[in-house]
Structure 1
Amino acid sequence: MVSDEPVRDTAQDPDADVESVARTILLNKLTDSPRSRAELAEALARKHVPDDVATRLLDRFEEVGLIDDAAFARAWVESRSRSKGLATKVLALELRRKGIADEIAREVLADVDPDSEREAAHRLVQKKLRSMRGLDDTTRIRRLTGMLARKGYSPQVAFDVVREELEADVEPLVST
């Protein structure tokens, strides 16, 4: 059962049952959204939960399946690539910031289909092109390739996708 009460900081409340407080912290964090083990360990450290208690609880939560870094990484990659159109380069950085082991990140990112990643780049450029109708080609190319670069696409993919979309973006002539 997750409590609605604010979780006490174990350093400020010596009477607190450290394990109970730590368990509540973990359950509250996992109720909000999936978390990596490293994020949960950090949350426990911020509340001054002793390392031995934190490790024991994190191990137990992992054992019963409440913490699964591989599942977290797969869900994160799926969500961020779908919603933000991020390429694997940026996704790898985000997973590292979330505390996901490099080996797990490599396995998860190896499952990303290069064709679907390229399609995402096309969708991003198509969407952005709608707001760039009045701009010259040089400006559009610079802005579009810059956008794709920030999302982690290689320069070659960015320029290829932008070129293809600009060629396809020829407005039909309206006869009067």
Structure 2
Amino acid sequence: MEPEQDGGGTEAQAKDVCLRLLTDRARSRHELETRLAKKGFSAAIATAVLDRLAAAKLVDDAAFAEQWVHSRHTYAGKGKNALSRELREKGVSPEHSVAALDQIEPEDERERAIELVRKKCRTVSLPDSADPDARAERDKVVRRLVGMLARRGYSQGMAFAVVKEQLDELGAETEDFDGERYG
């Protein structure tokens, strides 16, 4: 048995904590360092364990970032802005983040935004254009849809363009749209 150093536990215990965390999902080095620190492991033990795990290719921030971006864009519908923020929160370096985010082509991001708006439009009732309150109701729908995309990390310009395009396809009156009004 290894002697405890600086309180918190041994390298073997720290390695076990990391391996348990890695069985759930891939994690960044920063996430693992933070968890080890919360459990009271010394910085020296954490560094030694994480260096060994990195040498064994079990901790790789570049691979983590690519997997995270692919998964969150594909399954959670996140845009580049939200993904960049998430990677930053997870302690991924800007170089790894940029490389991972570059795998999302602008057209792929736009297509994902269109899918999200189409899905949401199935549950939103568009007002009848003959209704005198139609414009106010339509504006409310636009704000909701643009807001939904903005919360998922899509740029305001893209969000507005996608919403306008999809409402046009659904037959909503959009000639009087003014993107500034919804921002």
* Structure-1-length-normalised TM-score: 0.85
Query: What does the per-residue CA deviation read over 1:62-117, in whole Å, with 9 as the maximum and x for residues that have no partner?
Result: 01101011111111101111112111011000001111011110111122111010
Match 1:119 to one of 88, 102, 111:
111
- Secondary structure of 1:132's aligned partner: coil
What is residue 90 of structure 1 aligned with on the other side? 82
Aligned residues: 158
- SS in structure 1 of the partner of residue 122 of structure 2: helix
Q: Output the amino acid matched with 1:152.
A: G
Deviations along 1:26-59, one digit per CA (max 9) or x if unpaired, are 1111112111101111111111111111101101
Alpha-carbon distance in structure 1 between the residues aligned to 2:145 and 2:44: 50
The alpha carbon displacement at 1:134 in A equals 4.7
Match of 2:162 in 1: 161
Structure 2 residue 105 is the aligned partner of structure 1 residue 104: no
Alignment match of 1:44 (pick from 36, 40, 58): 36
Displacement after TM superposition at 1:11 (Å) = 4.3
Say which SS state the counterpart of residue 59 (structure 2) adopts: coil
> Which string of whole-angstrom CA distances, capped at 9 and with x for unpartnered residues, describes residues 109-155 of structure 1?
12211101000000010011111115531111111111111111111
Q: Give the Cα–Cα distance (whole angstroms) in 2 for the partners of residues 152 and 33 of structure 1.
A: 23
Structure 2 alignment gaps of length 5 or more = 1-5, 128-136, 173-183
The 8 Å contact of residues 92 and 109 in structure 1, kept in 2 or not, is answered as yes
Q: Which one-letter code corresponds to 1:27 in the other structure? A: L
The one-letter code of the counterpart of 1:149 is A
Q: Which aligned runs of 4 or more in structure 1 are off by greater than 3 angstroms?
A: none
* Separation in structure 2 between the aligned mates of residue 98 and residue 121 of structure 1, nearest angstrom: 24
Unpaired segments ≥5 residues, structure 1: 1-9, 172-176
Q: Distance in 2 between matches of 1:52 and 1:130?
A: 54
Question: Separation in 2 of the partners of 1:61 and 1:107?
Answer: 22
The equivalent of 1:27 in structure 2 is 19
Q: Check the 8 A contact 1:11/1:47 in 2, yes or no.
A: no
